[in-house]
Amino acid sequence: AGAFTIGVQPASYGVRSRPASPSAFSLEESSTALHGRRRKGAKRRTFGKVKLNSDTTSGSAKDISESEVRALFSLWNNALATGDSRIVAKRYAKESILLPTVSDTPRTDFASIKDYFDAFLLKQPSGKILEGDIRIGDGWAQDAGVYEFTMKATGDVVKARYTYTYVFENNSWKIAHHHSSVMPEGIDIATPITEDEVRGLFHLWNDALATEDPDAVAKRYAKEGVLLPTVSDVPRTDYDSIKDYFVNFLQKKPQGVILESNVMIGTNWCQDAGIYEFDLLGDKVKARYSFIYKYEDGEWKIAHHHSSVMPEAQLAGGSSKSEEIQKPIEDDEVRALFQLWNGALATENPDTVAQRYSKTPCLLPTVSDTPRTDYDSIKSYFVDFLQKKPQGEILESYVTSGADWCMDDGIYEFKMGATGDKVKARYSFVYTLEGGEWKIVHHHSSQMPEEIVPKAMLEEAQKAATA
């Protein structure tokens, strides 16, 4: 895009979004500014004279060269290096606007700009410009292109697009407009799928069972798939272990049919949960199932598969009497297990949080596509998440308990102490007794589906908080 559009005057920030008058910014000058581009070796041109108020210019506007415009980025980048959000905010003009990479809220004053950088500076960002285009006018300058940030706190390297418009204010060049956005080709576009098509994915898996080839079945699972089988205590988290399970299971020549199904669809993932029934060499067996599918390499694959026996039939089968079976843990005690995890978050120590999970865990985080199935990967996730200083509260809870396990599903809300943001999400915790202590064996957290936005708000965009 050009320097600015008709009706927006970078140097006339005394009045916002004021229609340009002929004396301030003519249509001819607008066309020049929009379409003019310096050629290598060409003489510097200025675009579109703009009326400047006294606060903006403090006298006559200062001339500036392209190298000096580019150096203004270094002043801003050096301000980031101080780790002080006040110093960064002072790089912006009195009447400026910041459109950040990962916030929907335009920041239009010192306080709101400072607030954004309070959180962003926790990542210890350091930036460099990879490519840029510079335009220079009378009392204003623009630098637009692509920059890259290294987040020293995490080691992440993130690219984004940028536009800076500078004005000469009180004898200093300041940022009047800063727009930062994720690289659009890196945003995942949702692959459309209907509820019937989600249910149809079961038939691909069932057809693989019919081949009686464990390789064919294992290939229906994602590269980092997790299988929690019906009759094995061991989570299967890779191709070989999943194949191993089906070597034995396929000897029963299973063929399944779905009796009840509940489908949910998100951005490049979908879930089918309910009850299915298998014919095993003439025996009929019901079980509960959860399939979570992800779009991987152009195909829908099983990222998570949890199958469990019908608990009422199992418990009732242990006694010929109709006596009530005592639960090992009360519902309120199950809900209290969340407070142990939430208390671990409050320590801001990722080791403390990771220790709340079992030896064979599965964490499906809110803003990461990658299942975390061991201590190190779970700790790694919370290194970044804890920088937001989260504290959670359960809004709705539904508890189920078994002999040595319990489950809490519902909706929780987090307040991010670092930013003040409040975020709702759906959750599933499955706890198991391990060494006499209840630990999290499965934790699935997902965004509220009606609030889901394009993937710019997910993992890549979370990393691209480059302001």
DSSP 378: H
More confident residue, 178 or 4: 178
| Mean pLDDT along residues 69-87 | 97
Q: What is the pLDDT of residue 297?
A: 85
| Mean pLDDT along residues 298-309 | 90
pLDDT in tens, 218-237: 999 999 899 998 888 788 99
Residue 24 near residue 13, CB atoms below 8 Å: no
Q: Encoding tokens for residue 275?
A: 């009850």
Q: Encoding tokens for residue 366?
A: 């809110």
Q: What is the pLDDT of residue 48?
A: 40
- pTM value? 0.38
Residue 190: band (very low, low, confident or very high) from pLDDT cuts 50, 70, 90:
low
Q: What is the pLDDT of residue 103?
A: 83
> How far is Cα 155 from Cα 258, in angstroms, rounded to an integer?
45
Q: How far is CA 442 from the centre of its chain?
A: 20
| Mean pLDDT along residues 177-199 | 83
Q: What is the DSSP string of 151-214?
A: ETTTTEEEEEEEEEEEEEETTEEEEEEEEEEE-GGGSPPPPP--HHHHHHHHHHHHHHHHTT-H
Residue type, 157: V
Residue 229 near residue 245, CB atoms below 8 Å: yes
C-alpha radius of gyration, the chain, whole number: 29
Q: How many CB atoms lie within 10 A of CB 307?
A: 17
Taking 90 as the threshold, does the pLDDT of residue 317 lie above it?
A: no
| Mean pLDDT along residues 359-365 | 88
Q: How many CB atoms lie within 10 A of CB 404?
A: 12
Residue 328 near residue 401, CB atoms below 8 Å: yes
Q: 3-class SS at 416?
A: strand
Q: Encoding tokens for residue 30?
A: 């607008």
Residue 403: band (very low, low, confident or very high) from pLDDT cuts 50, 70, 90:
low
| Mean pLDDT along residues 339-354 | 96
| Mean pLDDT along residues 273-302 | 91
Taking 80 as the threshold, does the pLDDT of residue 371 lie above it?
A: yes
| Mean pLDDT along residues 49-77 | 71
Q: Which residues pair with 162 in a beta bridge?
A: 145, 180
Residue 212 near residue 262, CB atoms below 8 Å: no
Q: What is the pLDDT of residue 267?
A: 73
Percent of the chain with pLDDT over 90: 53
Q: What is the pLDDT of residue 310?
A: 79
Q: Encoding tokens for residue 406?
A: 């319990």
Taking 60 as the threshold, does the pLDDT of residue 66 lie above it?
A: yes
Residue 289 near residue 273, CB atoms below 8 Å: yes
Q: How many CB atoms lie within 10 A of CB 330?
A: 12
| Mean pLDDT along residues 303-310 | 88
Window from 93-102, 114-123, 303-312, 347-356 with minimum mean pLDDT: 303-312
Please give the mean pLDDT across all residues of the chain. 80
